[in-house]
Amino acid sequence: MAVPAAALGASALGQSGPGSMAPWCSVTSGPSRYVLGMQELFRGHSKTREFPAHSAKVHSVAWSCDGRRLASGSFDKTASVFLLEKDRLVKENNYRGHGDSVDQLCWHPSNPDLFVTASGDKTIRIWDVRTTKCIATVNTKGENINICWSPDGQTIAVGNKDDVVTFIDAKTHRSKAEEQFKFEVNEISWNNDNNMFFLTNGNGCINILSYPELKPVQSINAHPSNCICIKFDPMGKYFATGSADALVSLWDVDELVCVRCFSRLDWPVRTLSFSHDGKMLASASEDHFIDIAEVETGDKLWEVQCESPTFTVAWHPKRPLLAFACDDKDGKYDSSREAGTVKLFGLPNDS
């Protein structure tokens, strides 16, 4: 049975620890000009601010395609949307209607007003920020834990805890296809060209299907343990996967070969995000920092400190700002009470 990445603990994931570097991890000399330039920028922009978003932990954050809004989905059964103003997030609205946890959400790839939420209540909901209303509720067969919108905007894919992926027409809101998999499906994504569909699975494999035919193209043995998350870089050159062995591996999209891996985290990698220029990769886990690597070398560019495990990370689509959310505990009143904040890294130190 599939489980949301946010719920995965190291013990459940058969974590093998930091000593398991793959043989193709390369070591390079001296930082690149890009790394030096970004480190210089982050020295003056290393501030992280938190913004109250929810009454319980935040499972998912995502930016609209124009970067004006950030959405968050929470265990409190709601989504929140913030407007990005100069150096802060300003809460615009809270979206209620789901009857269970909102485990993942994503925006329309080219329309900055629409986003979709996946919930354990066996529905997905499409929301419009202009009217602040739910424009469609689509009933599905199981408890939904992952969702993505196709690059052409026409289809929404949603995966549930029973490893069924349903493909929903984004205009008619009807199911176009449904696939039951015989393995634990963790995360799903189209490639940037919209002609292949990728799934990461519990056996450490990446399964690739043709789209829209949904015929198996290839299965890649990516990791020795549970392969948890997958992201494509905006330039279409690479995709990255994160796994329970605490490694992030970077793959050439055309050749489908692993070009390098990143091994600075010690715990299962739950979440990944490429920067808008495709040159930085943020990865996070139960480690109390988010690793920011240079994609081309694997070199460490920066680390963002956090006080608890991180569930979700998302680079802004135009600027070096990283939104993220952690397993907050609101210690001010009662350590058992969860707080649901969204955090933003990359703000000016004097802001």
Q: Where along the chain do its domains lie?
A: 33-347
* pTM score: 0.91
Q: Helix, strand or coil for residue 219?
A: strand
| Residue 19: predicted pLDDT | 38
| Residue 328: predicted pLDDT | 80
Mean pLDDT, rounded, of the chain = 92
| Residue 1: predicted pLDDT | 67
* pLDDT one-digit tens code per residue, 240-268: 999 999 999 999 999 999 999 999 999 99
Q: Is 16 buried (19+), middle (13-18) or exposed (0-12) by CB count in 10 A?
A: middle
Peptide bond into 212 cis (omega under 30): yes
| Residue 23: predicted pLDDT | 45
Q: How far apart are CA 60 and CA 133, in angstroms?
A: 20
Fold designation for 33-347: Methylamine Dehydrogenase; Chain H (2.130.10)
Q: How far apart are CA 311 and CA 306, in angstroms?
A: 11
Taking the chain (351 residues) in runs of 10, the rounded mean pLDDT of each run is 53 39 54 96 97 96 98 98 96 98 98 98 98 97 96 98 98 97 97 98 97 97 94 97 97 97 97 98 97 97 96 98 89 59 97 86
| Residue 330: predicted pLDDT | 56
Q: Helix, strand or coil for residue 324?
A: strand
Are 225 and 244 in contact by the 8 Å Cβ rule? The answer is yes
